[in-house]
Amino acid sequence: MSKRDLKKYLNELTKEQLEEQVLELYEKFSPVKVYYNFVFNPKEETLLQECKLKISQEYFPVQTKGKRKKPKMRRSVAQKYIKHFILLGVDPFVISDVMLYNIEIAQTFSSENLVKQELFYKSMFNSFEQAMNFIISNGIISEFKNRLLNIYKEASDQKWMNISDFSATIELLED
């Protein structure tokens, strides 16, 4: 069904029928429920703190019962939150903060631990590039420029194997 057909169909419904359908969608589909819960009670700060905690636990897992857990270092955890936040319509400042936090916590981890997997560095560059593009497209570069430069400097200081990719991307800030 096209958007135009949907509009036509919705215009034919009475207010009561429309309310019934929205309530049915709310009860039947979890994403609809999540969306409406966020729209009517947007606890962005709580969501942000939960998200940051989950991301940090990917690199610095909480020890339980004296057992030391191994860091998983999964970029996908942050990506899942970022995608979810974009779908919900969370403020671009919050989304940008999460994007950069993900890279910053990974850099903190790599400054303390030798990371041999090339995929880690490639993944962090992809995150960096995605963050740069998102921040630029939302016109909020001035608010995040220092953090982006600090991430680049840290990657350089740690002698990341793909620093040339970071250099090429950071040049977008000069334009």
pLDDT > 80? residue 142: yes
Domain that holds residue 2: 1-41
Domain shared by 14 and 55, yes or no: no
Domain shared by 159 and 83, yes or no: yes
Domain shared by 14 and 52, yes or no: no
Domain shared by 51 and 31, yes or no: no
Tokens of 142: 């001035």
Domain shared by 152 and 130, yes or no: yes
For range 144-166, the mean pLDDT: 96
For range 121-133, the mean pLDDT: 96
pLDDT > 70? residue 165: yes
Give the per-residue pLDDT at 32. Answer: 87
Domain shared by 28 and 91, yes or no: no
Which one, of 47, 127, 60, lies nearest residue 94 by Cα?
47
User: Rounded distance, CA 119 to CA 110, Å?
Assistant: 13
Domain shared by 36 and 50, yes or no: no
Domain shared by 19 and 54, yes or no: no
Residues whose CB falls within 8 Å of the CB of residue 109, separated by 6 or more in sequence, listed in order: 59, 60, 71, 73, 115
Structural domain count, the chain: 2
